[in-house]
Amino acid sequence: MRALPTPRQLLYLVTVAETLHFGQAAERCHVTQSTLSAGIRELESLLGVTLIERQTRRRVVMTPVGEEIVARATRVLADTEALVDAAAARAAPLSGLLRLGVIPTIGPYLMPGVLPGLRRDYPDLRLYLREDLTDALLEALATGRLDAIVVATPFDLRGMISTPFGEEDVVLALPADHPLAEQDRVHESDLTDQPLLMLEDGHCLRDHALAACHLSRSRSNEAFQATSLVMLTQMVAAGLGLTLLPRMAVAREVLPEGGVVIRELDATGTARTLVLAWRPGAARESDFRLLARALQAGHERLGVAPG
């Protein structure tokens, strides 16, 4: 049998392609730079092609054949991990390493209530969490760097399998001295001319909230774009405008005597459906469905489902 690349060599190559930096790649692989460089050279010698152009000590460029090999290596590594996952799934439910991605408008509010129960019920589970925007999480899922992701729909999940575990609407956060704060409920038409503080493009909650309130996606009345719900509520407290928050964020982000009040919105539908998603054909599908049930229980304990 002819000599074949090792999974470690392929991992070194894929990591260099992702970072375009030998030092950063070595750090991510938990090896020295000389060890990683030697592994790449051995792989190039084995394949008989140049995979990486070393332009300077800091800058590298993938060759065309290198990019092709990286794409194939990514699939091989994903299949190899699926093989290990399949064996682990046979051993015990929700055991071993599970790499879970979660978007920032869900993670800080849902996961603290879910993780203790997972540790109690599945002590052999090693859960690695990564927080990022939906597009980045989908890319990491597709390339095998994550096993499953917690995101919100409507959103194009690019053919991934998903199961819903909760629904949620949005509420209005406004300064305590704002005229609309005198109303128990605010109609969505009252927001048309108000300065809105929204999450920046890339956060799916932005579109979910605007669509649920039937507001235009134009930025004509957007006074500010933030990267986090923390910043949004702070800007509201400073009197700079109003914002729309997912209901699950209220208990954590809107503090008593903080200058921000919450009002219900009239004629608001479900803003988003929370889902757990994974790759088609994943060997750990039974594990993911167990995880979805744990997420659903955590969401129900929050008591934030639309009435």
Q: Write out the DSSP string of 170-196.
A: EEEEEETTSGGGGSSEEEGGGGTTSPE
Specify the pLDDT at position 221: 54
The sign one gets for the Cα dihedral 185, 188, 190, 191 is positive
Q: Of the candidates 133, 161, 168, which has an alpha carbon nearest to the alpha carbon of residue 273? A: 168
Cα dihedral: 289, 291, 295, 298 (round 10): 130
pLDDT digits (tens, 9 = 90+) for 13-72: 999 998 888 988 999 999 999 999 999 999 999 999 999 988 766 678 999 999 999 999
User: Can you list the domains of the chain with their CATH numbers?
Assistant: 7-79 (1.10.10.10), 93-163+274-302 (3.40.190.10), 170-266 (3.40.190.10)
Specify the pLDDT at position 79: 82
Specify the pLDDT at position 227: 84
How many residues are recorded in the chain? 307
Report the SS3 class of residue 121. Answer: helix
Residue 60 pairs with which residues in a beta bridge?
Answer: 54
pLDDT digits (tens, 9 = 90+) for 64-107: 999 999 999 998 988 887 777 667 666 678 888 899 999 999 99
Distance CA 248, CA 77 (A): 37
Distance CA 147, CA 278 (A): 6
Q: Interior CA angle at 68 toward 67 and 70, to 5°?
A: 65
In angstroms and rounded to an integer, the radius of gyration of the C-alpha atoms of the chain is 23
